[in-house]
């Protein structure tokens, strides 16, 4: 065993589960901590470039995987920008990002998507492992409160109806054995942030993944979104997010909930209100009443969009992991 492998074996093992922009932002902070990271990423996306490649090449959607690979990559910023570059013109090229096309190429070269992700991880010197939640694409469906069934991840928020539940096809999809094993060996499991019904819960609906999380003795953390998502979590509080996970999984899954309690400037709130989004209400007493420990801090930054403060958020996560490891020793 090499010195690097020995050092990695001694690091706390954290499994991060989700998808979307929020997950990638958080991972940029976490990769700077002394942690052995495994990211398990949703394969339910069916919109945009990912949807086209999924349909035309019969491969899992690459978009969320691409974002996570770039977030964990140890490469020059210019290379990251290049991988995120999206073609604006060209027959067949317009709308595709270069990173998605590279993942499609690696899948073709290696013979399967998982091997393609592994190969690109080496090229990008990724700090940790990136695994799709399953080796095949998943079709996400939603049942709304009025009984309507909506098919397709990209269509669910557009329907503008309150969601009763989401479910996947095939319902008995097999997770990657590597993903299940990573959860079994984890010291910490972190879920979120990301779109609740279309990025987070789909991973938890993969049967053996959810069972492995429930059975794990790791410390389990949920990072709640800062803003509601129109057509998906309208008017949701923090406890509403937790209740949705509980309703789908049937278990009290988390030990800790990490939330933002910093003020969001009024002009920023007004900008989001134009799109039908508002700050997720922290109903602290209700969350505590349900048995969750709460870590609250000013966790947002605003540039063009509101984003989690990756440095501050990763600091809280690392502290929780360290204190959990101390208790186990």
Task: Summarize pLDDT for 215-248 with one digit per residue, the tens.
Answer: 999 999 999 999 999 999 999 999 999 999 999 9
| pLDDT tens-digit series, residues 34-80 | 999 999 999 998 888 988 999 899 999 998 999 999 999 988 788 88
Structure tokens at 282: 């922290």
Least confident segment among 6-20, 98-112, 230-244: 6-20
- Tell me whether residue 100 is in a domain: yes
| pLDDT tens-digit series, residues 266-303 | 999 999 999 999 999 999 999 999 999 999 999 998 87
Tell me the pLDDT band of 3, cut-offs 50, 70 and 90.
very low
Strands (E), 95-209: 129-132, 139-144, 149-151, 163-169, 188-191
Please check whether residues 81 and 177 belong to one and the same domain.
no
Please check whether residues 25 and 62 belong to one and the same domain.
no
Please check whether residues 241 and 312 belong to one and the same domain.
yes
- Tell me whether residue 7 is in a domain: no
Domain boundaries, position 52 = 47-128
The CATH number of the domain where 223 resides is what? 3.40.50.10680
- Tell me whether residue 154 is in a domain: no
Please check whether residues 74 and 223 belong to one and the same domain.
no
Please check whether residues 204 and 118 belong to one and the same domain.
no
Neighbours of 186 (CB within 10 A): 23
Give Cβ neighbours of residue 278 (< 8 Å, ≥ 6 apart).
227, 228, 235, 269, 272
Please check whether residues 187 and 68 belong to one and the same domain.
no
Tell me what pLDDT residue 79 has.
84
- Tell me whether residue 148 is in a domain: no
- Tell me whether residue 235 is in a domain: yes
Neighbours of 164 (CB within 10 A): 13
83 and 62 Cβ atoms separated by less than 8 Å: no
Tell me the pLDDT band of 9, cut-offs 50, 70 and 90.
low
Better pLDDT: 45 or 181: 181
Tell me what pLDDT residue 8 has.
55
**Pick from 79, 208, 186: nearest CA to 134:** 208
72 and 31 Cβ atoms separated by less than 8 Å: yes
Q: Mapping DSSP to helix (H, G, I), strand (E, B) and coil, where does residue 256 land?
A: strand
- Tell me whether residue 24 is in a domain: yes
Distance CA 196, CA 194 (A): 6
Tell me what pLDDT residue 287 has.
97
Please check whether residues 17 and 62 belong to one and the same domain.
no
Tell me what pLDDT residue 40 has.
96
Please check whether residues 179 and 227 belong to one and the same domain.
yes
- Tell me whether residue 262 is in a domain: yes
Distance CA 226, CA 14 (A): 22
Q: How many structural domains compose the chain?
A: 2
Kindly report the average pLDDT of the chain as a whole number: 92
Please check whether residues 56 and 119 belong to one and the same domain.
yes
222 and 256 Cβ atoms separated by less than 8 Å: yes
Half-sphere exposure of 223 (CA within 13 A, CB side): 31
Mean pLDDT along residues 184-202: 95
- Tell me whether residue 162 is in a domain: no
Residue 322: is its pLDDT beyond 90? yes
Residue 201: is its pLDDT beyond 60? yes
């Amino acid at each position: 065993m090499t010195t690097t492998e020995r050092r990695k074996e001694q690091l706390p093992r954290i499994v991060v589960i989700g998808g979307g922009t929020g997950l990638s932002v958080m991972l940029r902070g976490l990769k700077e901590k002394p942690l052995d990271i495994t990211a398990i990423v949703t394969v339910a996306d069916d919109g945009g470039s990912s949807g086209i490649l999924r349909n035309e090449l019969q491969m899992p959607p690459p978009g969320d995987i691409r974002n996570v690979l770039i977030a964990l990559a140890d490469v020059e910023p210019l290379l990251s920008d290049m991988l995120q570059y999206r073609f604006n013109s060209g027959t067949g090229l317009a709308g595709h990002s270069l990173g998605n096309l590279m993942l499609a190429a690696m899948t073709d070269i290696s013979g399967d998507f998982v091997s393609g992700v592994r190969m690109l991880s080496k090229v990008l010197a990724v700090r940790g492992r990136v695994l799709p939640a399953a080796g095949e694409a998943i079709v996400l469906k939603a049942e709304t409160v009025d009984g309507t069934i909506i098919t397709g991840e990209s269509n669910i928020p557009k329907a503008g109806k309150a969601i009763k539940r989401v479910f996947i096809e095939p319902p008995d999809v097999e997770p990657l054995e590597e993903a299940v094993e990573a959860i079994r060996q984890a010291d910490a499991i972190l879920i979120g942030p990301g779109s609740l019904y279309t990025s987070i819960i789909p991973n938890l609906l993969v049967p053996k993944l959810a069972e492995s999380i429930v059975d794990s003795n790791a410390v389990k953390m949920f990072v709640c979104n800062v803003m509601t998502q129109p057509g998906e979590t309208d008017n949701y509080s923090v406890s509403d997010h937790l209740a949705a996970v509980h309703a789908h999984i049937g278990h009290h899954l988390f030990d800790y909930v990490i939330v933002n309690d910093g003020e969001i400037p009024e002009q920023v709130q007004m900008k989001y209100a134009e799109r039908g989004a508002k700050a997720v209400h922290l109903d602290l007493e209700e969350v505590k009443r349900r048995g969750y420990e709460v870590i609250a801090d000013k966790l947002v930054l605003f540039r063009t969009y509101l984003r989690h403060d990756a440095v501050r958020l990763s600091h809280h996560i690392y502290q929780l992991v360290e204190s959990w490891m101390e208790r186990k020793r």
